[in-house]
Amino acid sequence: MAIVYDKEKGLISLHSRNTSYQMGIGPYGHLLHYYYGKRGEGDFSYLFQYKDRGFSGNPYDANADRTYSMDTLAQEYSSFGNGDYRIPACSISGSDGEGILDLRVDRVEIFSGREEFLGLPHAKAVEECETLRIFLKEERKRVEVELDYILYPDEDVIARNARIKNISEEALFVERLDSLSLDFSYGDYDLIHFSGRYGMERLYRREPLQQGVKHIASMRGSSSHQENPFGILAGRNTTEHSGDCYGFALLYSSSFHLDVERDSYRGTRVSLGMQNDNMHYLLEAGEELQSPEAILSFGDGLSALSNQLQSMVKKYIAATSPLPYFPILLNSWEACYFNFTGEKIIELAREGKALGMNLLVMDDGWFGKRDTDFSGLGDWVTNEDKLGMSLESLGHRLEEEGMHFGIWIEPEMVNEDSALYRAHPDYTLQIPGESPIRSRSQLVLDFSRKEVVDAVLESLISCFRFVPLSYIKMDMNRSIMDVYSHGVNFQGRGKILHRYCLGLYRFLSGLKEAFPNVLIEGCSGGGGRFDLGALYYTPQIWLSDNTDAIERLEIQYGSSFLYPIQCMGAHVSQVPNHQTGRVVPMNTRAIVAMSGSFGYELDPKDCRKEDRAEIHKQIAIVEELEPLMKEGSYYRLSGYGETGGYTPQSEDRVSGKRFTAWSFVSPDKKKASLSVVWRDKNFNGANEILYCKGLKREGKYRLRLLLQGGSFQDEAFVESLLERTYSGFSLMEVGLPLPEGKGEYDSFLLLMEEV
């Protein structure tokens, strides 16, 4: 068994392939945390130092023992009101407002496999996983809390979730129910988190923890563009190559918080869960509330941690594509926005097919009265006057052209100028008697209500029933504000956001059930709902509405710390770029988009003759490298200049400031790709060198140039590099000097193959 419970000592250990996690039951029944890190055997409770700390209270049953305080002990799942002044993982309040909660271990269970729960994303059950379930109760027997630890030993990952049950005879309110909490008694840590804004999401930010609380959160009813429900705790000297680091990620698509507190004795607490400071979830007598699931992992170096998390996501969390082919899509949005007809879509498809693309996606504007974003949203009826044909006829015409058909939807939203809103204004989240907050000229449908979800789902199923669809892009173009539902009374308002998220998941399940052979891509104005909860239902998510290749480098860099590359929606777009006006070489745009699901967002007729030839070549390369990028390990080979704070990477071998580089290495290490993009140019600049990762140290490799954006300054030097045979040791430890381009934003893509 990978999970061992020594009942006599009250010691519980979880062992994966490379890690150990240990907790214990304290002398008064509290669940205490001892150790998480590299695998090892033994009793690590000796790490605890019991000291009398002034102004830190003691449990009543500790009597004269003033060294035992919940305010200073490392705990597994902290609660509010038991003498611990740090951030709690769990908090309740009764009808009288009182909220003292002192949780103690009642019993422990261990079983093979795991319990899967309906309605919420979770890591899939597999034969080799084991579950530790710990039941916590409080003395007055108002609530019972179940903690699940599901060990995935081959992945070095633990999934955690919590469930609270009201076992009293009165209603109470859950103020906080975090999915995981974890205390570290020792160590100086940096917090790595991934903040941003619309169009620049998940930017890498690293900062040293000081005494106090760091609060990372979204209050927007989605995981948001501004923050992401994922963070890393890294030792001060941890780099890509080595050092302790812990990753924490939530499988949830609504408001969340990640709180990290460094206390007055240099201890660190991490607590991750749903919603924020306004939960106040009504729990009637006998009811229970299930938290979302979270995953955590320990790694030696950021690269190792990323690969463990990405492997877990690929194998056990993210949905898989139902398509029997690798889609190379052409999206209509930047080619024509709202201005199209059915014949225009067919013409786009014909042009795309000639270049090697196989999927045409018709974006916003095909339904209702929808020639701008001020009207029509919510009316899922084909605008045949605009298209000049039915949706079914358009799909079959595309099939005749040899192209698959994809379409855009935004089911959670409605315009006031729509038949749906005129018939059912009560279907929206809107405070009675108050003017609603508009965003993008739209309101939010109340997906916390089953009848609203069912109505939207049925209208889309009816619309698409006879259409030969292969792909659906599902968007969400605003945040939630007016949190009022006709489906609950005043006391139940704390349930709305969570029920909305459950309604979203129910909608996605219904859509997948109705169209099992259709690939669904998630989207929220790009990356506003890029999280593991969404990936559980959609195999890929549009990474960002910013399609500028150079800015995408930083977005992809930050996203790669958790999310597998093939989950990232990435397209080659037109130049000058529609968001920034930047002009980037065609092959550089393609090399960047190849680190994603890959596709095109342009009008092929606007491409130059030489660019059209390059598109053929790009698609052939993507199809060649697709197994490598899907199954291989991903390595960041350069840091990023703007880290938002202190980072030891400036002293590491990944401190590239003028270029961004990354690679994929096959599982057998016989093949690897290497992508390099020059972000900046200097007159008479210093030479740059790059150190590869993940290769066989004693292996022999040859380099093959697959694609080049721009031209090299010294072609003879490049030829000399390509003529040589290299050992893995040479490429990883001695390094590969980088040939620089002549122009701005030049790039190259190499394939390293064992000989």
Tell me which of 501 and 65 has the higher pLDDT.
501
Q: Quote the pLDDT of residue 162.
A: 98
Tell me, what's the pLDDT at 647?
47
Cβ-contact 364, 333 below 8 angstroms: yes
CA 291 to chain centre: 18
> For 627-650, what is the mean pLDDT?
72
When pLDDT is averaged across residues 562-580 and rounded to a whole number, the result is 96
Question: How far apart, in whole angstroms, are the C-alpha atoms of residue 564 and residue 306?
Answer: 9
pLDDT bin (cut points 50, 70, 90) of residue 656 is low
Question: Does residue 715 sit within a domain?
Answer: yes
640 near 660, Cβ under 8 Å? yes
Q: Which of 190, 379, 475, 531 is catalytic?
A: 475
- Note if 475 is an active site residue: yes
The number of angstroms, rounded, from the C-alpha of 71 to the middle of its chain's C-alpha atoms is: 33
Please name the helix (run of DSSP H) or strand (run of DSSP E) that holds residue 717, with its range, or none.
helix 715-723
| pLDDT tens per residue, range 590-613 | 999 999 999 999 999 999 999 999
Cα–Cα distances (Å) from 548 to 280, 527, 654, 745, in that order, read: 42, 14, 23, 12
Query: CB within 8 A of 169, min separation 6: which ones?
Result: 285
Q: How far apart are CA 630 and CA 540, in angstroms?
A: 13
The residues facing 260 across adjacent strands are 214, 270
Assign 294 to helix, strand or coil.
strand
- Of 204, 198, 195, give the one whose Cα is nearest residue 526: 198
pLDDT digit string (tens) for 3-59?
999 999 999 999 999 999 999 999 999 999 999 999 999 999 998 888 889 898 888
Torsion of the alpha carbons at 305, 309, 315 and 321, rounded to the nearest 10: -120
- What is the distance between the alpha carbons of residues 90 and 174, in angstroms, rounded to a whole number? 8
Q: How far is CA 735 from CA 633, 637, 640, in A?
A: 19, 11, 19
Q: Assess whether 385 carries a catalytic annotation.
A: no
Average pLDDT value for the chain: 94
Contact 589, 573 (CB under 8 A): yes
Q: How many residues does the chain have?
A: 755
Token duo for residue 460? 């889309």
The β-bridge partners of 157 are 152, 297
**If residue 557 lies in a helix (H) or strand (E), which one and from where to where?**
helix 549-559
Distance CA 736, CA 539 (A): 35
The single residue of 102, 156, 364, 545 carrying the catalytic annotation is 545
Residue percentage of the chain with pLDDT more than 70:
98
Tell me the C-alpha distance between 441 and 418, whole Å: 12
> At residue 443, does pLDDT exceed 50?
yes
Per-residue pLDDT tens digits for 260-298: 999 999 999 999 999 977 799 999 999 999 999 999 999
Residue among 663, 687, 694 nearest 676 (CA): 663
| Nearest Cα residue to 282 out of 490, 534, 568, 454 | 490
In this structure, is residue 61 part of a structural domain?
Answer: no
pLDDT(139) > 60: yes
User: Is 401 contained in some domain?
Assistant: no
List C-alpha distances in Å: 368 to 102, 189, 358, 387, 513.
56, 53, 27, 11, 25
Residue 44 confidence (pLDDT): 96
Q: 50 lies in a domain?
A: no
Specify the pairing of strand 599-601 against strand 329-331. Answer: parallel
**Contact 634/306 with Cβ under 8 angstroms?**
yes
Mean pLDDT score, 392-404: 98
Q: How many CA atoms, within 13 angstroms, populate the side-chain half-sphere of residue 159?
A: 25
Q: Reply yes or no on whether the pLDDT at 189 is more than 80.
A: yes
506 pLDDT band, cuts 50/70/90, is very high
Nearest to 746 by CA among 705, 706, 709: 709
**Rounded CA gap, 314 and 523, in Å?**
19
Does some domain include residue 192? yes
pLDDT at 648 over 80: no
Residue 421 domain flag:
no
Residue 426 lies in a domain: no
Contact 467, 389 (CB under 8 A): no
Whether the pLDDT of residue 644 is over 70: the answer is no
Model confidence at 672, pLDDT cuts 50, 70, 90, reads very high
Collect all residues with Cβ–Cβ distance below 8 Å to 655 and sequence separation of at least 6: 638, 639, 649
CATH number at residue 216: 2.70.98.60
In a domain, 436, yes or no: no
Is 646's pLDDT higher than 80? Answer: no
Q: Which of 685, 670, 661, 673 is nearest to 740 (CA)?
A: 685
SS3 500: helix
How far, in Å, CA of 354 to CA of 338, rounded?
24
Helix (H, G, I), strand (E, B) or coil at 544: coil
Which of 287, 302, 317 terminates a domain? The answer is 317
Q: Tens of pLDDT along 678-727?
A: 998 888 888 999 999 999 999 999 999 999 999 999 999 999 999 999 99
Contact 34, 48 (CB under 8 A): yes
Domain end, chosen from 252, 282, 317, is at 317
Last residue in a domain, options 317, 340, 369: 317
The total of structural domains in the chain comes to 2
* pLDDT per residue as tens digits for the range 221-231: 999 999 999 99
Percent of the chain with pLDDT over 90: 88
How far apart, in Å, are the Cα atoms of 200 and each of 30, 220, 251? 43, 17, 22
**More reliable by pLDDT, 426 or 52:** 426
d(CA 665, CA 670): 8
> In which residue are the tokens 């969404």 written?
534
Please say if the pLDDT value at position 728 is more than 80.
yes
Tokens for 597, please give them.
Answer: 């699901």
Peptide bond connecting 153 to the previous residue in cis, omega within 30 degrees of 0: no
What is the rounded distance in angstroms from the CA atom of residue 371 to the CA atom of residue 338? 6
Q: In angstroms, rounded to a whole number, what is the distance separating the alpha carbons of residues 236 and 189?
A: 5
- Which pLDDT band, with edges at 50, 70 and 90, does 94 fall under? confident
Q: Is residue 619 classed as helix, strand or coil in its secondary structure?
A: helix
Give the torsion sign (CA, 54, 55, 56, 58). Answer: positive
CB-CB neighbours of 612 under 10 Å: 16
Q: For the segment 306-354, what is each residue's pLDDT rounded down to a tens digit?
A: 999 999 999 999 999 999 999 999 999 999 999 999 999 999 999 999 9
Using DSSP, state whether 606 is helix, strand or coil: helix
**Residue indicated by tokens 């830190």:** 56
Can you tell me the distance from the alpha carbon of 566 to that of 598, in angstroms, rounded to the nearest whole number? 9
d(CA 88, CA 32): 14
DSSP for 407-474, written as a single string: EEE-TTEE-SBSHHHHH-GGGB---TTSPPPPBTTBEEB-TTSHHHHHHHHHHHHHHHTTS-EEEEEE
What three-state secondary structure class fits 404? strand
The closest of 660, 558, 543 to 231, measured between CA atoms, is 558
Give the mean pLDDT of 438-443.
96
* Residues paired with 408 in a beta bridge: 473
Gap between the Cα atoms of 156 and 305, Å rounded: 9
Which CATH number is 699's domain given?
2.60.40.1180
Which domain covers residue 34, as residue numbers?
3-43+67-317
44-63 tens-digit pLDDT? 999 888 888 989 888 888 88
- Say how far apart CA 504 and CA 538 lie, in whole Å: 12
pTM reported for the whole predicted model: 0.96
Return phi, psi of residue 189, to 5°: -125, 155
pLDDT at residue 645 in the model: 39
The dihedral sign for the CA sequence 70, 273, 251, 145: positive
Specify the pLDDT at position 649.
47
Q: What pLDDT, on the 0 to 100 scale, is given for residue 684? A: 83
